[in-house]
Homo-oligomer: A and B are copies of this chain.
């Protein structure tokens, strides 16, 4: 009868040891397919263990399919092992004790050196990351605590596909107050970041239509569309924004724009162009405008530019905004406002989706908005960014750069354009700046069809500059541009 030495088992549980031994013999072929195993009782007596131990070992082998049980007859070896001979599969039945350690597996992968080992970086003008010191940690933590103490049932209940109604209502109130928009909470669809929502819109609007984006523009938008397999046209901008004639010629059905503050040019689309765009959309049932209002909170002068959505009587505008700009890029909450016809389609075809944002963060954000903290935070950030911008502009003005640059600054937040009077190609400029510890990007990086007009124009994102680094950053930039050092 089958026997295994019990002293070989180390500190494994007995049943697990028996299981290992039998499985090993099956895999190695020592126990051939259709071999009858001893009965549980006989095997237990032979091994000097309890019947329950054998039963547990057999059950696990049955569950994994190494043996099978024939009613009234007993246990037999299944005929898996013949497949093991198929060598190109290189099967290796698992054995936790003998597994490679994850560290060893890890060494198989070419791991990128972590950014910290990178060349010294003083300031990153190419990143839209926010300064961590500005996040309202203590308020957020307090609200999260309250939510956990008071909202347990809401936290654990699956929310509708569009998100928790309380948050959607808070977003509506904010849009009414701040953007002059009248929106019902049902129209608001909350999701884990704008890139996710772009994908959701593709599913809602269909993949067969042609999508138009702005050129220059934020390249991730077309990357997401094209990565999802839809046809994407890059429409050139003029001084008022996207050109309507080119748009009409492109055959596009959907146009994705940021009319209040185009990235990276800063253009705010004037009212006349807006009406032309609305007329374009209204002339065909399949046409829609995606209004990407990603940083309207940060217009630093005057009032916010009214949204396209607020003049849309025809139900043609899908409004899109995010808290990743206004709160923190690492809190993934964005939202859509759907016009009625699309809302109906969403509920019918996509209502089965689970909302991608955790209830904990939805509830916390709802309180953050409702209790007035969001408005306070935005006001504080506008003051902060206005000071940062003023300091940066003054510092450029006072530096040797002043005579070599022209700045286009639309009073709108977080970035501006700086044209440099230089013969250096952009890649040389970028490399020289990087050697000085400053990372920059150029307008030409955002052009799908580079036409030369984007050359020698830096896109200066200043939201993440650490306080106190402005002067040094400008000096480094000046050196990179070949200005004499003082």
| Contact surface of A with B, Cβ cutoff 8 Å | 16, 56, 59-60, 63-66, 68, 78-80, 83-84, 86, 88-96, 99-102, 104-106, 108-109, 111, 129-130, 132, 135, 137, 140-141, 144-145, 148, 152-153, 155-159, 172-173, 176, 180-187, 192-193, 195-196, 199, 203, 207, 220, 223-224, 227-229, 240, 268-276, 278-279, 282, 301-303, 305-306, 310-311, 313-314, 324, 328-333, 340, 343, 349-350, 352-361, 410-411
Contact = CB atoms under 8 A, between A and B. Distances in A.
Given A271-B80, A275-B84, A331-B359, A94 B132 contact: no
A201 to B, nearest CB: 13
A279 B89 contact: yes
8 contacts: A59-B411, A64-B306, A94-B306, A99-B181, A102-B184, A108-B340, A137-B152, A156-B329
Contacts of A279: 83, 86, 89
A308 to B, nearest CB: 11
B96 A180 contact: yes
Given A94-B311, A137-B148, A63 B360 contact: no
Contact of A102 (B79, B172, B306): B172
A152 B136 CA distance: 11
Contacts of A303: 16, 60
Given A99-B180, A102-B172, A196-B196, 5 more contacts: A60-B302, A63-B268, A80-B275, A102-B182, A330-B358
Contacts of A145: 141, 145
A274 B311 contact: no
Contacts of A411: 59, 63
Contacts of A357: 192, 332, 358
B227 A330 contact: no
A105 B183 contact: yes
Contacts of A59: 301-302, 411
B132 A328 contact: no
Given A96-B180, A109-B340, A332-B357, A275 B141 contact: no
A152 to B, nearest CB: 6
Contacts of A56: 302
A313 B105 CA distance: 13
A465 B441 CA distance: 56
A111 B186 contact: yes
Nearest to A302: B60
Contacts of A305: 63-64
Contact of A359 (B273, B330, B352): B330
Contact of A278 (B60, B91, B229, B271): B91
Contacts of A100: 182
Contacts of A271: 64-66, 78, 80
Select the residue from A68, A145, A331, A358 with max chain B CB neighbours within 10 A: A358
A368 B38 CA distance: 45
Given A106-B184, A268-B63, A330 B156 contact: yes
Contacts of A203: 227-228
A355 B94 CA distance: 31
A354 B195 contact: yes
Contacts of A186: 106, 109, 111
B195 A64 contact: no
A258 to B, nearest CB: 15
Contacts of A92: 311, 313
Nearest to A96: B180
A267 to B, nearest CB: 11
A111 B360 CA distance: 25
A437 to B, nearest CB: 19
Nearest to A186: B109
A344 B100 CA distance: 21
Nearest to A19: B303
A272 B356 CA distance: 37
A224 B65 CA distance: 31
Contacts of A228: 203
Contacts of A207: 229
Nearest to A316: B89
B220 A329 contact: no
Contacts of A135: 152, 155-156
